[in-house]
Amino acid sequence: MADQEKINYNRIAKAIDYIRKNFKEQPSLNNIAESVHLSPHHFQRLFTDWAGVSPKKFMQYISIEYAKQLLKDKQATLSDTAHQTGFSGTSRLHDLFINIEGMTPGEFKKGGENLDINYSFAESPFGHIIVASTSKGICHMAFFEDKREALSRLNSRFPNANYNQVVDIAQQNALFIFQNDWSKLNQIKLHLNGTPFQLKVWEALLKIPMGNLSTYGSIAKMIDKPKASRAIGTAIGSNPVAFIIPCHRVIRSTGGIGGYMWGNTRKSAIIGWEAAKMDI
């Protein structure tokens, strides 16, 4: 990411954090621009270029009231729709077919011994990304601030694997998910290490349409474990593939944004960005 782009992203992230903390007061354009030390005109243009909509409209998307309205108007039919149609919905994400293959005990034995993993660093609308893949698909994707720390976290998941800093087709295809036109994507394959329960939860997350939100309780019902909300939360929190498996689309039943492994400001940014893209 170029220095100016990095500055712009940090300014937008700071503005989103300000909006998230002050949405009840519905801050004006002047107030938000002042929070990131920009003129209202410059900020309006920068924000619109980044999000595709004005700051005022974006604020509507990431406010708690927006989250509650989604749950009230759409969530009631989300589970039924997901069970009946799977990926046949009309949103752009549903035009993809994302296939999860669980790692066998042998593949993960002794910390990934004999497992060849390619990895690379890339940029996204939400900051730096590390993405890693095996011969069977993407095994890791995460946002990061420091390359060494990002690589260390990957290594801690597969301490005995063979690592190569190589950009392969699987990684390139996965990163295309951040583009506006997803119709040209090939199948995205994920090669994940998880318990059968975790894999089931991650598959359920893929059924949440872009621009929609779900709750921990709703996910529990989707996988026929209505009393397992806490375990659901743990499985969601251990999601090894950022953005592609959309754990950012799960919020609290109260409408609160909830936690996110890669930061609540980033989660708010992604929710608003997706909602804005669906409305363009």
Q: What are phi and psi of 30, to 5 degrees?
A: -60, -45
Please report the pLDDT score of residue 79 as a whole number.
37
pTM above 0.75, yes or no: no
Rg of the chain, C-alpha, whole Å: 19
The number of angstroms, rounded, from the C-alpha of 169 to the middle of its chain's C-alpha atoms is 21
pLDDT of residue 91: 42
The type of residue at 83 is H
pLDDT in 10s for each residue of the chain, 280 residues = 567 777 888 888 888 888 878 876 778 899 999 999 999 999 999 988 887 778 887 776 666 555 555 545 544 343 333 333 232 333 433 334 477 888 877 776 677 788 899 999 999 889 899 999 999 999 999 999 999 999 999 999 999 899 999 999 999 888 888 875 555 555 788 999 888 899 999 999 988 888 888 888 889 988 998 888 889 999 999 999 999 999 999 988 777 788 899 998 899 888 888 887 766 5
pLDDT on residue 84: 33
**Residue type present at position 105:** P
Q: Is 247 labeled as catalytic in the residue annotation?
A: yes
Q: Tell me, what amino acid is at 26?
A: Q
- Which among 263, 241, 237 has a CA at the least distance from the CA of 250? 237
Rounded distance, CA 47 to CA 8, Å? 9
195 C-beta neighbours (distance < 10 Å), count: 11
272 burial (CB, 10 Å; 0-12 / 13-18 / 19+) is buried
Q: Which of 32, 103, 219, 247 is catalytic?
A: 247
Provide the token pair at 263.
């930061």
8 A C-beta contact, residue 225 and residue 232? yes
The sign of the torsion formed by the CA atoms of 67, 46, 56, 11 equals: positive
